Amino acid sequence: MRKNWLDNLRWVTVLLVLFYHVIYFYNNKGVFGGIGGFGPWPEWHQYQDVVMYILYPWFMPLLFILAGISARYALEKHSGKEWFGARTRKLLVPSTIGLFVFQWMVGYFNTAVAANGALDGVTGFARLIMLAISGTGPLWFIQDLWLFSLALLIIRPLDRKNRFYDWCGKVFGGKAGIVWIILLGILFWAGEQLIIKNPRPESADGLYNLYKPLFYFIPFLMGYFIFANDSVHETLGRAWAPLLGCAVAAGGVLIGTTFGQDNTSPAYLGSPLNCLYGWMACLAMMAWFKARFDRTGAFAGYMTRSSFGLYIVHYLVVACFGYMMKTYTQLPPAAMYAILTVAVFTLSPLIYEVIRRIPVVRWCVLGEKRVKASAR
C-alpha cells in the first residue's frame, strides 16, 4: 500500500525546486549559475531572492531522504538485480543518453548565458558533446542517486536480517525517539563539513561541491535505515507542530542575519545555523505531511507519477525563457518573474506529456519504457 503523504511530499518538493530555479536564475547574491540579477546587491534590492534562503538548505537533502525511503520499500518487493536495473534505466539513462537527446538544448542556453566563448570554433559532434555536458544542470541529482543506489547494493548485505533497521525503528520510533531524531542533525552538520571549504578556481572542486556526494549520501542512508520505519513516521507525525515552529524560527534567524550572502558558499552551508535550519525543515516537512496530507486525489495522483518527468524537463523552460527575456526584451523584472513562473508550470507538463508519448525518446529522456496507463 502506497504512503500518500510520502508521494505528496515528493511532488510538492519537486514543484518547489521548479519555483526555486525561477528565482535563482535572476539572483544577484553571487550564487553560481543563472543569468544574474537586475542590478548589484545591495544597491538593487531583490528581496524575492529570499526564496533561495528558505528552500536551498533543505529541499535537496529531503529529496535524498525520500529516495532512501523509497529504496527500502522497493527492495522489499524486488530483488537487488531487478531494482538496480530499473534504477539504471530511470536514473542513468536520462542523465547520460538523455543529455544528447534533450538536455543539449539546456546546454545551448547555459553556454549563451556564460558568454565566455568556450565553444567558439567548436563544431560538429564535439560541439554536441560540449552542449550535452553543459546541459546536465539539475540532473546532477539523479546522477548522485544512481551512484547511491549502486553503493546501497554493496552496503545492504551488511544488514541482511534487518537487525540494524529494526533497531533504528525501536530507538528513533520509541518514547524518546523525537530527541534522537533531532540529534541526527549532528550528522547533517558533519556531512556539510565534507565539502571543499576553499574550492580552487579552474579545478573540479566547484563541481564536487555541487554534487556533494558524501553529504547527500548521509540523508539517503538515513531514509533507508531510519525514516522508512513506520514507528518513526508516527513519532514525527505527533510532533509536527513544534517541529514546524522550530524550523520557522531557525529559518527566520538564519535569513535575518545572513540575507545578502551567497547562500551556496561552503562557509554558509557549513555554518551551524544553516545546518540547524536545514535539518529542522527536513523533519518539519516530513512530520507535517504525515500528520496533515496523508491523502490523495486525481491531481495528487497525476503529480505522483509525473513529478520526476517535470524535474527532468523543466530547466529547459527556465533557461530558454529566462535568457531570451533578459537578453532581448526590456520587460520590467516583475513581468519576467511572472512570465517565467507561468511558463515553467505550464510548459514543463506539456513538454513532459509530449515526450512520454514518443517511443525511444521517452526511454532516452525519461527512462520510461512505455506510457503509464494509471497512477498506481
- Please check the confidence at residue 72 and state whether its pLDDT lies above 50: yes
Q: CA nearest 326: which of 47, 112, 20? A: 112
Q: What is the reported pLDDT for 117?
A: 66
Q: CA nearest 285: which of 311, 247, 316, 321? A: 247
Domain boundary among 286, 308, 342: 286
What is the value of pTM for the model shown?
Answer: 0.96
Residues 220 and 256 placed together within one structural domain of the fold: yes
Residues 218 and 84 placed together within one structural domain of the fold: yes
Residue 202 vs residue 65, higher pLDDT = 65
Q: What is the reported pLDDT for 276?
A: 98
Q: How confident is the model at residue 121 (pLDDT cuts 50, 70, 90)?
A: confident
Note whether residue 116 is domain-resident.
Answer: no
Domain that holds residue 275: 60-95+136-286
- Please check the confidence at residue 109 and state whether its pLDDT lies above 90: yes
Q: What is the reported pLDDT for 371?
A: 60
Residues 13 and 86 placed together within one structural domain of the fold: no
Note whether residue 112 is domain-resident.
Answer: no
- Please check the confidence at residue 3 and state whether its pLDDT lies above 80: yes
Q: Is 140 exposed, middle or buried (0-12, 13-18, 19+ CB in 10 A)?
A: middle
pLDDT tens digits, residue range 286-330?
A: 999 999 999 999 999 999 999 999 999 999 999 999 999 999 999
> What's the mean pLDDT in 125-146?
95
Phi, psi of 90 (to 5 degrees): -80, -30
Which grid coordinates are listed for 73?
520499500
Residues 265 and 343 placed together within one structural domain of the fold: no
Residues 188 and 66 placed together within one structural domain of the fold: yes
Residues 212 and 336 placed together within one structural domain of the fold: no
- Please check the confidence at residue 376 and state whether its pLDDT lies above 70: no
The 3-class SS string of the chain reads CCCHHHHHHHHHHHHHHHHHHHHHHCCCCCCCCCCCCCCCCCCCCCHHHHHHHHHCCCHHHHHHHHHHHHHHHHHCCCCHHHHHHHHHHHHHCCCCHHHHHHHHHHHHHHHHHHCCCCCCCCCHHHHHHHHHHHCCHHHHHHHHHHHHHHHHHHHHHHHCCCHHHHHHHHHHCCCCHHHHHHHCHHHHHHHHCCCCCCCCCCCCHHHHHHHCHHHHHHHHHHHHHHHCCHHHHHHHHHCHHHHHHHHHHHHHHHHHHHECECCCCHHHHCCHHHHHHHHHHHHHHHHHHHHHCCCCCHHHHHHHHHHHHHHHHHHHHHHHHHHHHHHHCCCCHHHHHHHHHHHHHHHHHHHHHHHCCCCCHHHHHHCCCCCCCCCC
Domain boundary among 286, 311, 332: 286
Residues 231 and 351 placed together within one structural domain of the fold: no
Phi, psi of 259 (to 5 degrees): -60, 130
- Please check the confidence at residue 372 and state whether its pLDDT lies above 60: no
Domain boundary among 286, 320, 339: 286
